[in-house]
């Protein structure tokens, strides 16, 4: 089969959803309007399968500077370039190793970001001065159509830095205000950010866990993947972004302790054992072992706790390590929210 034929097929299938949808004409009009705004240097928030991203053209330094300002993001935290086709990788990456080809064939479009050595012309403001660049092809028809129309886009999560990532357009509006154009109307399917894998090192390094876990990646690579996602691994984080306090609401997030009474009005997330004999002002949400649903809703629950003025979010401790896939991603985001 030709290079990227499998990816192309998946992409075509995904885009069909847009053309066949009942509100297809309005959606395309919105995408065209968003693309022209991006091409004239503006910012547009758009949906992906993970979280909403705040897009700007990847070759426009001033627009990218505005992304950092709009998010209140530290300048040393590099951005991910979002592509609509794997052939665009060669615009940004100095080389495409065989490992990248295998992973792209298996997982793009999808929630996997690859770090590759960058070409000299990639803007420094985008990479935070690093000699590598992060690339991903999102699995969302609106994202793919927008990137195709506007060209490759940088897109950090569309939240204020330090806040939980947005999984719904209302989260974007809440954080970034009414001036930022938001397209798309639906919640994100995964709800946690993409897996970030550094292929500039051997063995490859998992910088940020996501739905795709180290085991799935190493099965495709045929070699191990090492995890360097936090100081909990005994290593310094590999991705600049992982050193900042992240994803935290104003409510205090902590692992639940069933031997203690939670503060009044706590939001308590459980997945296996529903607490009994708690006072009735405690809101308990039971995920009944559905960790993918817990991941999809986690950031929305954090935001809900703040909107309802709850003092605390308690989370039932996750199953014991070793973790992989969605449970590893949940563990990573929850421990970061705990701080
Ligand atoms: O799911 C996602 O990846 C979402 C959606 C919108 O695509 N985007 C997202 O972007 O989460 P952001 O900017 O919030 O997170 C990007 C992460 C940061 O932790 C950053 O440090 C890391 O990727 N990163 C970017 N470029 C890197 C590089 N060259 N080397 C190491 N880490 C890098
Ligand atoms: Mg982010």
Q: Give the residue, out of 46, 80, 108, 160, with the most ligand 1 atoms within 8 A of its beta carbon, to mutate for a pocket test.
A: 80
Is residue 247 one of the residues assigned to a domain? Answer: no
Q: Which ligand is nearest to the CA of 193?
A: 1
Instruction: Report, as an integer, the average pLDDT of 296-315.
Output: 97
Q: Residue 75 C-alpha to ligand 1 middle, in angstroms?
A: 13
Round the average pLDDT of the chain to a whole number and report it: 94
Do 102 and 148 belong to one domain? Answer: yes
pTM for this model (two decimals): 0.96
Do 211 and 257 belong to one domain? Answer: no
* Cβ 76 vs Cβ 193: under 8 Å: no
* Ligand 1 pocket at CB < 6 A: 48, 50-51, 53, 77-80, 113, 115, 127, 130, 132-134, 136, 138, 155-157, 193-194, 196, 207-208, 239-242
Do 220 and 285 belong to one domain? Answer: no
Residue 270: which domain range?
Answer: 252-338
Q: Which two tokens stand for residue 65?
A: 């500077």
pLDDT band at residue 1 using 50, 70 and 90 as cut-offs = low
CATH code for the domain of 54: 3.90.870.10
Do 165 and 132 belong to one domain? Answer: yes
Is residue 34 one of the residues assigned to a domain? Answer: yes
Question: Order of strands, edge to edge, in the sheet holding 226-227?
Answer: 181-182, 44-46, 53-57, 153-154, 80-82, 132-136, 112-117, 195-198, 205-208, 226-227
Is residue 237 one of the residues assigned to a domain? Answer: no
Do 99 and 212 belong to one domain? Answer: yes
Do 59 and 152 belong to one domain? Answer: yes
pLDDT tens-digit series, residues 88-144:
999 999 999 999 999 999 999 999 999 999 999 999 999 999 999 999 999 999 999
pLDDT tens-digit series, residues 237-246:
667 776 666 6
Q: Residue 77 C-alpha to ligand 1 middle, in angstroms?
A: 8
Do 214 and 265 belong to one domain? Answer: no
Is residue 236 one of the residues assigned to a domain? Answer: no
Do 20 and 147 belong to one domain? Answer: yes
Q: Is the pLDDT of residue 212 over 90?
A: yes
The closest alpha carbon to 229, from 200, 205, 193, belongs to 205
Do 165 and 294 belong to one domain? Answer: no
Q: Give the residue, out of 54, 109, 113, 136, with the most ligand 1 atoms within 8 A of its beta carbon, to mutate for a pocket test.
A: 113
pLDDT of residue 228: 85
Do 206 and 76 belong to one domain? Answer: yes
pLDDT tens-digit series, residues 319-338:
988 889 999 999 999 999 99
Domain total in the chain: 2
Is residue 240 one of the residues assigned to a domain? Answer: no
Do 167 and 256 belong to one domain? Answer: no
Is residue 302 one of the residues assigned to a domain? Answer: yes
Alpha carbon nearest to ligand 1 atom 30, residue:
239
Alpha carbon nearest to ligand 1 atom 12, residue:
156
Do 62 and 208 belong to one domain? Answer: yes
pLDDT tens-digit series, residues 255-285:
999 888 999 999 999 999 888 878 899 999 9
pLDDT of residue 151: 98
Is residue 329 one of the residues assigned to a domain? Answer: yes
Q: Residue 128 C-alpha to ligand 2 middle, in angstroms?
A: 15
Query: pLDDT > 70: what percent of the chain?
Result: 95
pLDDT of residue 199: 98
């Amino acid at each position: 089969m030709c290079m990227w034929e499998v990816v192309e097929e998946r992409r075509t299938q995904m885009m069909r959803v847009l053309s066949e949808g009942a509100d297809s004409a309005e959606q395309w009009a919105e995408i065209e309007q968003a693309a022209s705004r991006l091409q004239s240097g503006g910012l547009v928030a758009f949906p992906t399968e993970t979280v909403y991203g705040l897009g700007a053209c990847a070759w426009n330094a001033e627009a990218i500077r505005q992304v950092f300002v709009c998010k209140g993001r530290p300048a040393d935290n590099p951005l991910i370039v979002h592509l609509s086709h794997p052939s665009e990788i060669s615009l940004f990456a100095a080389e495409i190793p065989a490992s990248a080809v295998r992973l792209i064939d298996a997982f793009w479009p999808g929630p996997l970001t690859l770090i590759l050595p960058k070409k000299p012309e990639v803007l420094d403001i985008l990479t935070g001065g690093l000699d590598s660049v992060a690339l991903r092809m999102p699995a969302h028809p609106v994202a793919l159509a927008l990137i195709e129309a506007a060209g490759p886009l940088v897109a950090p999560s569309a939240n204020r830095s330090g806040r939980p990532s947005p999984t719904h357009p209302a989260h974007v509006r809440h954080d970034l205000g009414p001036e930022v154009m938001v397209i798309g109307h639906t919640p994100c399917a995964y709800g946690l950010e993409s897996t970030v894998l550094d292929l500039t090192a051997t063995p490859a390094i998992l910088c940020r866990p996501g739905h795709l876990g180290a085991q799935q990646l190493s099965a495709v690579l045929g070699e191990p993947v090492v995890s360097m996602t936090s100081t909990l691994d005994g290593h310094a984080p590999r991705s600049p972004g992982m050193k900042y306090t992240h994803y935290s609401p104003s409510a205090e997030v902590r692992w639940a302790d069933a031997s203690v009474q939670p503060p009044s009005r706590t939001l308590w997330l459980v997945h296996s054992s529903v607490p009994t004999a708690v006072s009735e002002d405690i809101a308990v949400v039971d995920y009944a072992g559905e960790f993918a649903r817990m991941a999809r809703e986690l950031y929305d629950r954090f935001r809900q706790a703040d909107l309802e003025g709850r003092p605390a979010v308690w989370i039932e401790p996750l199953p014991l390590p070793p973790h992989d896939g969605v449970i590893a991603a949940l563990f990573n985001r929850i421990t970061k929210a705990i701080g």
